Structure formats: C-alpha cells, structure tokens
C-alpha cells in the first residue's frame, strides 16, 4: 500500500517521519524543499507535484494550514482530485472548518473517492513522539480500514461520526484548551497581585478538581517564561475563528470562545502570534501590570 503525504510543516513533518519509521511506503510533497529532504533522508520517496503524489497513492494524507489551502490542494487546478484513483482514500488531518470538510468530501464522492477528516491534538511534541490524539469523521468502515495507519502517528484514534465530525470535535477541544489557559492566566495574575506565589497555587491545586492536562503542560511554561511554540497563538486564532464561524452556522452560543479569541488577536497585534498559546497570560499581565514567574 502506497501512502502519500502533502504538507510537511511543524506537524506534518514529524508525523510523516513516524510513518516512515513504522515501515510505510511513503511519497511526500511540500513547497518547503528542506522539509521534503528531511523525510526523504529517512526513506520516503520524493513527489514532483501534488498530482504526482496523488496519482501514486492508495491513501493520501494532507496536513495543511486551513480550509482554503485544503480546498486548493485537493480541488484546485492541478489538485489531488484530478489524479486520485477511484476507490482511493483522502485523509485530511488539517484542522479546518467542518463545513469545508463536507464540501471537499462531496466533490470527491463524485469521483468515487472516500474521505476522512482526522484533525489531531497534542501539538508538535506529541507529533514528534507519535502520541497525538486523532479525532475522525467519515464512514466507519473507512475509519476501520485506516485505523492502524492513524495509530502510527498517534496514541488514540476515535471515530466521532460522519464526515466533519472530526473537525467539530477538534473545535470543541480547542475551545476547552483556550479557556483553560485563559482561566489559568487569570488565576495566576490574581495570585501574583495578591502576594501569593503562582507556583504554590499551581502545586496546591493541580491534584484537585482544577487540575488538568492543560494546566500541567502550560503552567510551567508560563512561570518559566518559556513561550517557545508547541502550538502557536496564530494557529489557535485560526481554530477559534473556525469555531465561531461554525457556531454561527449551527446556532451555538460561544460567548467565552469569542472573548478568548479577541484576547489572542490582541496579543497577535502585539507581535505574539508565533508564541506558544501559553503566552495568553501576557494579556492579563499587561492589564494587571505584573509578570508571573516562579
């Protein structure tokens, strides 16, 4: 079975490397040639173009920035849809708007090509070590056919429903993560201003109901002033904007999501877009005229 992979960015590059390490026959393409070189050095084959990779793939994986890029790569002129064989499968692992996933799937179905939307959670560290959480939408029989492939890149792969359900689940994940970081930031700035060490607050609450994977991952980063991106604010803005768009389309109230989205956009204007989303604490620090640290 030949696997194609298009999109070798922060997430796609380590994900494709894990597929090569697990023994899959992989052909890769990206406009960033050095990233292609990295994966080819491990044993992947180099694709000449999107169509070249698609024509040689039984399953094609895409990992791209957002909905417009997915539509262009798959449905645009010279795109994958022109070259994928009948009966082949597209697995789009990008985090995009659910309605865009449905649109792409409908166009592919006209060509008898199956599709799964399978966005991931875990950021670059879990992409590197192959422990991503993968949320999948599409036909259950297609999911079952691709599950082992997905688990070569993640520690879990859960079928969430029909096409688009994977991205709905990812948007829910991103809302919860963003609101957790905002709550942590608000609480730590309160502690700082009131004279109680944020580190002591963290150690006191992490084992109770307020504890979470988000708190354990992001509190140490904030207190160490380490905002090297595991997941950039720019990308979280994209996801929350997709959530707001989807909420408007289905009539879901997203009051808190909108508020955190505007906080992140403010930080983006301050030049923090490429910082880790734990840098959301800087929004509160600026207003409170304080800095949280150990």
Instruction: Supply the pLDDT for residue 230.
Output: 83
For tokens 């792409």, the residue is 104
> Are residue 117 and residue 233 in the same domain, yes or no?
no
> Are residue 148 and residue 10 in the same domain, yes or no?
yes
> Are residue 217 and residue 113 in the same domain, yes or no?
no
How far apart CA 78 and CA 166 sit, in angstroms, is 27
In Å, how far from its chain's centre is CA 293? 28
> Are residue 137 and residue 219 in the same domain, yes or no?
no
> Are residue 132 and residue 172 in the same domain, yes or no?
no
Backbone angles phi, psi at 70, to 5 degrees: -65, -45
pLDDT tens for each residue of 161-186 = 999 999 999 999 999 999 999 999 99
pLDDT tens for each residue of 53-68 = 999 999 999 999 999 9
Instruction: Supply the pLDDT for residue 271.
Output: 98
CATH number of the domain enclosing 222? 1.10.1040.10
Of 105, 137, 163, the one marking the end of a domain is 163
> Are residue 148 and residue 182 in the same domain, yes or no?
no
User: Does residue 293 lie in a domain region?
Assistant: no
Mean pLDDT score of the chain, rounded to an integer?
Answer: 97
How far apart CA 231 and CA 25 sit, in angstroms, is 29
User: Does residue 122 lie in a domain region?
Assistant: yes
User: Does residue 60 lie in a domain region?
Assistant: yes
15 closest CA partner among 51, 39, 34: 39
pLDDT tens for each residue of 19-55 = 999 999 999 999 999 999 999 999 999 999 999 999 9
> Are residue 159 and residue 183 in the same domain, yes or no?
no
The reply to whether 170 belongs to the active site is yes
How far apart CA 73 and CA 7 sit, in angstroms, is 10
The three-point CA angle 37-39-41 to 5° equals 65
161 contacts: CB under 8 Å, gap ≥ 6: 137, 168
User: Does residue 268 lie in a domain region?
Assistant: yes
> Are residue 129 and residue 178 in the same domain, yes or no?
no
For residues 253-277, average pLDDT = 98
How far apart CA 254 and CA 2 sit, in angstroms, is 42
> Helices 98-109 and 233-250, interaxial angle, to 10°?
80
> Are residue 159 and residue 172 in the same domain, yes or no?
no
How far apart CA 20 and CA 40 sit, in angstroms, is 9
Structural domains of the chain, count: 2
Residue of 35, 170, 238, 282 with catalytic role:
170
152 closest CA partner among 61, 246, 28, 16: 16
> Are residue 37 and residue 157 in the same domain, yes or no?
yes
> Are residue 15 and residue 69 in the same domain, yes or no?
yes
For residues 117-139, average pLDDT = 95
Q: Where are the beta strands (DSSP E) in the chain?
A: 2-6, 25-29, 45-46, 59-62, 89-92, 114-117, 120-121, 132-137, 154-161
Q: What is the CA radius of gyration of the chain?
A: 20
Of 163, 184, 217, the one marking the end of a domain is 163
Backbone angles phi, psi at 259, to 5 degrees: -65, -45
pLDDT of 294 over the 90 cut: no
User: Does residue 294 lie in a domain region?
Assistant: no
Q: Which two tokens stand for residue 282?
A: 């800087």
How far apart CA 185 and CA 154 sit, in angstroms, is 29
Q: Where are the beta strands (DSSP E) in 80-231?
A: 89-92, 114-117, 120-121, 132-137, 154-161
User: Does residue 187 lie in a domain region?
Assistant: yes
User: Does residue 174 lie in a domain region?
Assistant: yes
pTM given for the model = 0.92
Structural domain of residue 74, as residue ranges? Answer: 2-163
How far apart CA 129 and CA 99 sit, in angstroms, is 31
Backbone angles phi, psi at 88, to 5 degrees: -80, 175
User: Does residue 149 lie in a domain region?
Assistant: yes
CATH number of the domain enclosing 23? 3.40.50.720
Q: Which two tokens stand for residue 253?
A: 């109230």
> Are residue 159 and residue 177 in the same domain, yes or no?
no
Of 116, 133, 163, the one marking the end of a domain is 163
Instruction: Supply the pLDDT for residue 195.
Output: 97
């Amino acid at each position: 079975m030949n696997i194609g992979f298009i999109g070798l960015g922060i997430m796609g590059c380590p994900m494709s490397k894990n597929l090569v390490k697990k023994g899959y026959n992989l052909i890769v393409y990206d406009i960033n040639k050095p990233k292609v070189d990295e994966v080819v050095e491990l044993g992947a084959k180099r694709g000449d173009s999107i169509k070249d990779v698609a024509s040689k793939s039984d399953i094609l994986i895409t990992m791209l920035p957002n909905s417009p890029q997915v539509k262009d790569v798959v449905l645009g002129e010279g795109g994958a849809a022109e070259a994928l064989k009948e009966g082949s499968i597209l697995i789009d692992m990008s985090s995009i708007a659910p309605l865009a996933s449905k649109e792409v799937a409908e166009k592919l179905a006209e060509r008898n090509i199956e599709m799964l939307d399978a966005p991931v959670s875990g950021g670059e560290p879990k992409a590197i070590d192959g422990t991503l959480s993968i949320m999948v939408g599409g036909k259950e029989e297609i999911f079952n056919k691709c599950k082992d492939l997905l688990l070569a890149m993640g520690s879990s792969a859960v079928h969430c429903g029909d096409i688009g359900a994977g991205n709905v689940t990812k948007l829910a994940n991103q809302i919860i993560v963003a609101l957790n970081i905002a709550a942590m930031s608000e609480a730590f700035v309160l502690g700082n201003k009131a004279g109680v060490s944020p580190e002591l607050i963290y150690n006191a609450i992490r084992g109770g109901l307020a504890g979470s994977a988000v708190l354990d991952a992001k509190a140490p980063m904030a207190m160490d002033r380490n905002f090297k991106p595991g997941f950039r604010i720019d990308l979280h803005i994209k996801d929350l904007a997709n959530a707001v768009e989807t909420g408007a389309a289905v009539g879901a109230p997203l009051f808190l999501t909108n508020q955190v989205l505007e906080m992140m956009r403010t930080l983006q204007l301050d030049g923090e877009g490429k910082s880790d989303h734990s840098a959301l604490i800087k929004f509160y620090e600026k207003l409170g005229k304080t800095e949280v640290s150990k």
